[in-house]
Amino acid sequence: MSSETDNQEVVRLDNVCRHYTVGGETVKALDGVSFSINRGEYWAIMGPSGSGKSTLLNILGCLDRPTAGSYWLNGVDVARMEDNELSDHRLKNLGFVFQSFHLVPQLTVLENIEMPMFYLGVPPDERTRRAKELAERVEMEHRLTHLPAELSGGQRQRVAVARALANNPAVLLADEPTGNLDSKTSVQIMQLFEELYAQGKTLIVVTHEPDIDAYAHSHIVVKDGRILSCRR
């Protein structure tokens, strides 16, 4: 495949495998996974424990590499990149939202949102301006000087979403984003994701919860390292 993929195609996996050797035996965590995601789509990836869902998440997030196959992210085959190049491509193209928020406890809300832009070398004034805009976008503009410990779980996740959007990523990747939240707050976070989707963001949510899966518009089910179903 040429690196000149369709302009609408932002993620493509071609026959991706991820094998591990455990106790002299080969474990096929992913075994020939292929699918594509277009810009502006909203996908959920479902699967039971041990299905390969977490391994697929790590591949999509450029946190692990395929044993075989190709992974194209925003037109580039990242499976063959050098480590430094891969890290840079990940920073520019992916935003992450985690179950445990992963905010830096010593930094304020504003500083946490600014952090990805700092690593990309965005000038201080521009970082602050954009961080304030993002805080307002997730309704956290009234908490800019607060530390994460001073926020509720839902507020922390809103800050995490703002931080994930800081570099205007091609894909927003969320790993069990409501796993540590109560039901009411979970609905609020998923409504925020729905708003981002309506604004044209590409979202991939990895979850085991059917209620969360229901928010997505396209669905992948993984079982035993393979795609059991894939529907738009």
The mean per-residue pLDDT over the stretch 201-220 comes to 94
Asked if 208 and 47 touch (Cβ cutoff 8 Å), the reply is yes
Has residue 8 got a pLDDT over 60?
A: yes
Alpha-carbon dihedral angle through residues 83, 84, 90, 91, given to the nearest 10 degrees:
150
Q: What is the pLDDT of residue 173?
A: 97
The mean per-residue pLDDT over the stretch 182-211 comes to 94
> Average pLDDT over the chain, rounded to whole?
93
Break the chain into its structural domains and give their ranges. Answer: 40-47+82-231
Q: What is the pLDDT of residue 79?
A: 82
Has residue 1 got a pLDDT over 70?
A: no
Query: In this structure, are strands 226-231 and 25-38 parallel, antiparallel, or unpaired?
Result: unpaired
DSSP secondary structure letters along 75-141: TEEGGG--HHHHHHHHHHHEEEEETT----TTS-HHHHHHHHHHHTT--HHHHHHHHHHHHHHTT-G
Angle at 211 between CA 34 and CA 189, to 5 degrees: 95
Percent of the chain with pLDDT over 90: 88
C-alpha to C-alpha distance for 193 and 215, rounded to whole angstroms: 9
What pLDDT digit, counting tens, does each position of 130-181 carry? 999 999 999 999 999 999 999 999 999 999 999 999 999 999 999 999 999 9
What pLDDT digit, counting tens, does each position of 29-61 carry? 999 999 999 999 999 999 988 899 989 999 999
The mean per-residue pLDDT over the stretch 100-123 comes to 96
Joined together, the tokens standing for residue 151 give 């926020």
Query: Residue 232 — pLDDT band, cuts 50, 70, 90?
Result: confident
Q: What is the pLDDT of residue 43?
A: 98
Q: What is the pLDDT of residue 23?
A: 85
C-alpha to C-alpha distance for 207 and 162, rounded to whole angstroms: 20
Q: What is the pLDDT of residue 80?
A: 84
C-alpha to C-alpha distance for 78 and 113, rounded to whole angstroms: 26
C-alpha to C-alpha distance for 27 and 67, rounded to whole angstroms: 12
Q: What is the CATH number of domain 40-47+82-231?
A: 3.40.50.300
Q: Distances from the Cα of 9 to the Cαs of 38, 41, 66, in angstroms?
A: 4, 10, 20
Q: What is the pLDDT of residue 7?
A: 57
Size of the chain, expressed as the number of residues it contains: 232
pTM across the whole model? 0.92
Q: Distances from the Cα of 10 to the Cαs of 39, 126, 171, in angstroms?
A: 6, 27, 8
Q: What is the DSSP letter of 201?
A: -
Count Cα atoms within 13 angstroms, Cβ side, for 4.
0
